[in-house]
Chains A and B, each alone.
Chain A
Amino acid sequence: MTNKNTVLQAIDICKDFYDPVKIRVLNHVSFNILKGEFISIIGKSGCGKSTLLYILSTMDTVYDGDILLNGNSLKNRSNADLAKVRNESIGFVFQFHYLLAEFNVLHNIMLPALKLNKFSRQEIEHRAMERLRQLGVEDQALKMPGQLSGGQKQRIAIARALINDPAIIMGDEPTGNLDKYNSDLVFDLLSKLTHEFGQTMLIVTHDNDFARRTDRIIEMQDGKIISENQVV
């Protein structure tokens, strides 16, 4: 079952919501993510796909079962510890861009790396510019987030997710707020990142067109995985 190339492993994850009555949201969910895979999770509203993503992202810590990231368990770790794990190994792209309005684009991208404090400031700045170039928005570096279009903002958010070379990027409807043109653009970028740079991706979406173009589709229903299809 375990493979050297396994980045993330979900083992028998269960979660209940207690408000107002006990509802089982995730029911014994297990699956593996291999390095360089581009995986999408689809399913109807309320099937538990977002809940699963937030548990895997370490932000939600109330669940049964275990998660292994690069072989290390994420269960029973302190919040500060998990924050470190997120900083170092997980990149996020949400439906909304969540850029800090007070800082310019470059600074927004640099923040997680400054937090990680692995490289010097000049190096971080250089790496951030590299990511921007990779995503074709290097000319926006010194603008404030408020001056950008929705597609541009989302690309900046992707650059921010990439800055620390994370083991995995998690996305919650990253194209949900974008028009067709921009959502294709963002998809192409994500796809390019996996296929050209070997970046592992786990994207929750309800856009079936989007999912069909990924490597593997995990379909969920009522808190269970009902199918795992390798897209050919």
Chain B
Amino acid sequence: MKPGLNLIIAWGLLRARVKQSVVAGVGVTFGIAMFITLTGFMTGLNDLLDGLIINRTAHVRLYNEVKPAIKQPIEYVQKYDHPKHFISSIKPKEHGKEIYDAPRIMESISKDPRVSGVAPKVVTQVFFNAGEIEIAGVVNGIDVLEEDRLFAFSDNVLEGQAIDLDHVSNSIFLGKGLADKMLVKKGDVIQVSTPRGDFVLLKIVGLFQVGLADFDNTQSYTSMETIQKLLGKPASYITDIQVKLNNIEDAPDMAKEFANIYHTDAVDIQTANAQFETGTDVRNIISFAVSIVLLIVAGFGIYNILNMMIYEKMDSIAIMKATGFSGSDVKQVFLFLSMIIGVSGGIAGLLLGFTLSSIVDNIPFVTAALPKINTFPVNFNPVYYGIGIVFALVTTYIAGLFPARKASHIDPVIIIRGK
């Protein structure tokens, strides 16, 4: 009954000052709504951009760089162990890019509990023959199903079905830019010349777009079988092993580990894309800072209005104390006042935030990088709504606490005798 009575009194005082209370509440509403909208939009964008990198590139990539062996064959011969070697004009041999025993390596990596998937890849330079000219390009041989499962290949597909690479023999997916340059479309057949000088005819089963001009103008995808045939290599010929991890933070350590175990080069995603994490952090900091500033401003609004109200209500406070309300009752009344403003303003803020987020979510956003995304990305994670309402309550409580304490210390004798 006791807190109930104080709540009733708070409600009565509030109703008598509807305009001021609404203004104070709107401050909170605006702060929370901006917090929800900003963080929803920022984190949505962050997730999208991070997803571009994290979900579509290998966390650890094993490959062989073309470079002279650190230990030349002659150094393995015991007889010539120490003397200086005078063999000049050493030439590389054409199997530099192949990862030796790749299927066994993949099998061994896929058994690692930290790994969520492994996909092979064969990369080679080719020339696309279009009429009179030759365009330099790259063909990536992929395991279509695994590539799609691990790295969301289908997300970049503009035309056609990724799985057609498996279903149609001698088929190819071309980058949008590359296809435009050659004036070809899906269903056409193009001629490709391989590094060994062979000519092969490939059928275009689809187009893709990643959004990077350099990439879309040169790259193309085909199946493992097709590229191995193209290069005249056996089915074990693999130039890249792409590893996706359960926890991306493990990537740098695991890259070093794999490089040691399998005697290949290995690069982790953090080294390959250092700039992205910084961008994510900065965007998060900005959105949180703006929202917190808004809420603090709203808190000052509540503080001011309660302070004013206490000066107006000196008489009421005095008579309440004279008729038996204690200092803590008076404090409670003003805290309730503040919290009513905070709760109603906060809930309205959540609703407004959700509405604004929904509007942003429907604003057209066309980007070459993401053929399947047509509107701005917004994160509707309930955690941010939770943070928002908690912050609203904390701010209004603190803003109300100081005026409420002041009210509780008012001496009724001074007020009543002063009349």
B388 to chain A, nearest CB (A): 31
Is residue A214 contacting chain B, with contact meaning CB distance below 8 A? no
- Whether a CB of chain A sits under 8 angstroms from the CB of B324 is yes
The answer on a CB contact under 8 Å between A94 and B323 is no
**A84 on the interface (CB 8 Å rule)?**
yes
- Once the chains are docked, how many angstroms separate the CA of A103 from the CA of B411? 23
Measured CB to CB, the nearest residue on chain A to B328 is A80
Q: Are A92 and B5 in contact (CB under 8 A)?
A: no
Asked if A95 and B323 make an inter-chain contact with CB atoms under 8 angstroms apart, the answer reads: no
CA distance A112 to B329 in the complex (A): 12
Instruction: State the Cβ distance, B371 to closest chain A Cβ, in Å.
Output: 62
A202 to B9, CA, bound (A): 30
Chain B at the A interface: mostly helix, strand, loop or mixed? helix
A87–B13 touching, CB < 8 Å: no
Interfacial chain A residues near B79, Cβ < 8 Å: none
Determine if A86 is an interface residue (Cβ-Cβ < 8 Å).
yes
- Contact: A114 with B1, CB < 8 Å? yes
Is B419 a contact of A79 with CB atoms below 8 Å?
A: no
Asked whether, in the complex, the Cβ of A98 is within 8 Å of the Cβ of B12, the reply is: no
The answer to whether the Cβ of B183 comes within 8 Å of any Cβ in the partner chain is no
B16 touches A102 (CB 8 A): yes
Tell me the smallest distance from the CB of B299 to a CB of chain A, in Å: 25
- Residue B163 CB within 8 A of the other chain: no
Chain A 105-142, CB within 8 Å of chain B: the 1/0 string? Answer: 00100011011110000000000000000000000000
Chain B neighbourhood of A37, CB < 8 A: none
Interface residues on B, range: 20 to 34
Contacts of B411 in A (CB 8 A): 59
* Contact in complex: B413, A80 (CB < 8 Å): no
Nearest B residue (CB) for A111: B323
Task: Tell me if B419 and A160 are in contact (CB < 8 A).
Answer: no
Contact B319 A115 (CB under 8 A): no
Q: Which residues of B contact A66 (CB under 8 A)?
A: none
Q: B12: which A residues are within 8 A, CB to CB? A: 100, 102-103, 107
Interchain CA distance A202-B121 in the complex, whole Å: 101
B residues whose Cβ falls under 8 Å from a Cβ of A: 1-2, 5, 9, 12-13, 15-16, 315-316, 318-329, 411-413, 416-417, 419
Q: List 16 A-B contacts (CB under 8 A).
A: A50-B417, A54-B416, A59-B412, A59-B416, A60-B413, A79-B327, A86-B322, A94-B416, A98-B315, A98-B322, A99-B319, A100-B9, A103-B12, A116-B324, A117-B5, A160-B323
